[in-house]
Each structure stands twice: as C-alpha cells, then as structure tokens.
Amino acid sequence: QVQLVESGGGLVQPGGSLRLSCRASEVTLDYFVIGWFRQAPGKQREGVSCIYRTNDSTYYADSVKGRFTISRDNAKNTVYLQMNSLKPEDTAVYYCATSSRPCPGIPGDFGSWGQGTQVTVSS
C-alpha cells in the first residue's frame, strides 16, 4: 500500500490560484499513473486530472481543461496540480491516488489514496 500525502489546499477567492502537492514516502511514484480526484459535499468523487509516468501524457476533465496543470517531479517523488482561475464550483476535497492502469480511469482503478486536502473558492 502506497502512502500518499496531499497538501496545498486552502481558501482562495474566485480567480485565484493554488498548487496542490501529492507526495509519497517509501515508494517511488514514477512507477505509477497518478490521478487527482475531487469530491464536493453531496456529490460523487470525480476525476480531475491524470498523468502517466512521464510528463508527456496527461488527461484533464473538461471542467478544468485550460485552468489546471498536472506535473510530476520524480526527483522529489511529488506530483503537483496547479490550479488557476479557480471558480466556486471547484470547491471540494481533492485527493491524489495511484494506479497501474491508463488514464483517466475510474476511481476503482486507483488503489492507494491520500487523506485529501480541502480547497474552498469563495469571496
């Protein structure tokens, strides 16, 4: 089981930016596809973005395309989600997770999950 820790969430005004980090200890993340998901109160968990073992192949949900950027720094064993032009509808708990299957996948494809980090977009 891979232990993942997300960080970087917080409260931001509409139009603002945040960068989320997903870091693993004890396991090298570059063996895995990494996905970012989010879950708002009363809603199902949805896929936001996904990255293959290199930065060449990425996936974005239509709702975040052009605003969010996923990247990985294998030397730091960390995957990032840069979120720009944030909207109130981006408010959710954001999770990262590992998979051995292709992007984008579904939540059931992802075996290890972090505890989540809260992102709140509000004026």
pLDDT of res. 55: 66
Degrees (nearest 5) of the Cα angle 6, 78, 12? 45
Residue 89: which pLDDT band, with cuts at 50, 70 and 90?
very high
**115-122 average pLDDT score:** 97
46 in Cβ contact with 59 (< 8 Å):
no
pLDDT of res. 79: 95
pLDDT over 90 at 92, yes or no? yes
The span from the CA of 50 to the CA of 35, in Å, is 4
The helix or strand, by DSSP H or E, that contains position 78, with its residue range, turns out to be: strand 78-83
pLDDT over 80 at 54, yes or no? no
Mean confidence (pLDDT) of the chain = 93
Instruction: Say whether 73 sits in a helix, a strand or coil.
Output: strand
- Cis, bond preceding 104 (omega within 30 deg of 0): yes
- Return the amino acid letter for 70: I
Q: What is the pLDDT of residues 8-20, one digit of tens each?
A: 999 999 999 999 9
Degrees (nearest 5) of the Cα angle 104, 18, 15? 100
pLDDT of res. 8: 98
81 in Cβ contact with 48 (< 8 Å):
yes
**20-49 average pLDDT score:** 92
The span from the CA of 39 to the CA of 48, in Å, is 10
pLDDT of res. 107: 87
Question: Lowest-pLDDT range, 7-16, 26-35, 61-70?
Answer: 26-35
49 in Cβ contact with 58 (< 8 Å):
yes
pLDDT of res. 36: 97
